[in-house]
Amino acid sequence: MPEKHTIKFYPVDNADTTLIKLIDNTTIVVDCQFRDGKENSDGVQIFPVKDDLLNSLEKDRSENFFVDLFINTHPHEDHCLGYNKNFFVGDPKDYKKANKDNNEVIIGELWVTQMVFSKDLCDDGLAIQKEVRRRKKLFENKTAGWDSYGNRLRIIGYNESDTTVEGLHYIPGTTVDTINGNRKETFFIFIHAPFKSSLVSAQADKELNQTSIVIQANFKTKPDGDVITRLMIGGDADHYTWEQILNKSKRYGNTARLEWDLFLSPHHCSWSYFNDTPYDNNPEPKKYSLEILDYGRTNSHIIASSKKIEDKEPNPPHYPAKEQYVEKVGEDHFKNTAIHKGEKAPKPLVYTTDESGFELDKSIISAAASIMSKPTPRAGKV
């Protein structure tokens, strides 16, 4: 068993892929971006996310790779590209040799927003929708195995009727410490968003951003110990959502859920976190957006999962947004995935956390490590 929790932010241009591995080997992936090819349009090497991911995941009793929890913050392509090709869609009982040969990853538990049922989704968004419908039907029919490995589903927020279904929905304000059927003693997730009002009003594709899942992930090293590290992830949530998060947290005396040590900048370091876009018409950051950043704890880091941030078009990433972040945490504590370990061949940003807090792993991350040298499968855990 590893002695530290690990949080890894992959370099995927203007997109998100985050891997969390807990000290008990539980794995959580938030969003995905699997790209083909060796270089992007700027001549930057494409990091082999799938190879590296497989080297980090566990195997089940059948020697199949799986992730305990996959969270899709919202079904836009920059948060789900490659889902259909790289994750298994369907009943785990139907997992065949062809799926295994393709190293398709089984998802133990899947979290989505209600907006996954929207029309006009990208191809991978539709693949997620298909899998959600399959799991949802199992739940509704109370089919045997509906709450088992490979079938578990949670819809974050409310449904199309502005209500929730017990056992299927998690709503804002919920604390979750059970992942893929197993209770965690050193980790829990607090759900901030999406809010009912956003889910009701968001119909157009461009409004899916405001229905992003927003969470605070909390890491401890001892079951009865204090939270050591807090990670804030919010997909592409804009400043309106963060205003509600701030106001509701204050209203309910829950400001501890605003604290963070690691903050993944929303929408790939876009100005939309600070104000409406375009920037030229709204150059002043909202006070509540800045106040959220003030909840960063000592030595906190902000991570921009984006292309290299330069003072030019197009954006995101947005240079004035970076300036606001840097003003809060300092240049050394603002990290851009596109330039870590080299601008032409970036490597993942890897943070570890133990009883002394979190730190950035300074070693070179190699995706070439053999995916065959895996730990013993976790019998009885899935």
* Tens-digit pLDDT profile for residues 166-198: 999 999 999 999 999 999 999 999 999 998 876
- Percentage of the chain with pLDDT > 70? 92
CB-based contacts of 209, cutoff 8 Å, min separation 6? 74, 76, 235, 236, 237, 238, 267, 272
Q: How far apart are the C-alpha atoms of 261 and 242, rounded to whole Å?
A: 17
Instruction: Output the pLDDT for position 200.
Output: 60
Q: Tell me, what DSSP letter sits at residue 277?
A: S
Tokens for 322? 């970076």
Q: Is the confidence at residue 241, as pLDDT, over 90?
A: yes
Q: Are 130 and 91 in contact (CB under 8 A)?
A: no
The fold for domain 5-360 equals: Metallo-beta-lactamase; Chain A (3.60.15)
Contact 27, 326 (CB under 8 A): no
Q: How many whole angstroms separate alpha carbon 53 and alpha carbon 78?
A: 18
pTM: 0.93
Secondary structure (3-state) at 158: coil
* Nearest one of 137, 64, 135 to 105, comparing CA atoms: 64
- Both tokens of 362, joined, read 């300074």
Averaged pLDDT of the chain: 92
Q: Residue 159: its pLDDT value, please?
A: 84
Residue 59 tokens read as 């195997």
Q: Phi and psi dihedrals of 115, rounded to 5?
A: -70, -5
Is the pLDDT score of 73 beyond 60? yes
Locate 317 and state its tokens.
């990433």
One-letter amino acid identity for 345? Answer: A
User: b/e map of 343-363 (b: 16 or more CB within 10 Å)?
Assistant: eeebbbbbbbbbeeebeeeee
User: Are 194 and 113 in contact, with CB atoms under 8 Å apart?
Assistant: yes
Domain ranges of the chain: 5-360
Lowest mean per-residue pLDDT among 134-138, 203-207, 257-261:
203-207
Amino acid at 355: E
Residue 286 to residues 216, 226, 271, 291, Cα–Cα distance (Å)? 21, 32, 11, 9
Q: Which residues pair with 27 in a beta bridge?
A: 21
Helix (H) or strand (E) holding 250: helix 239-251
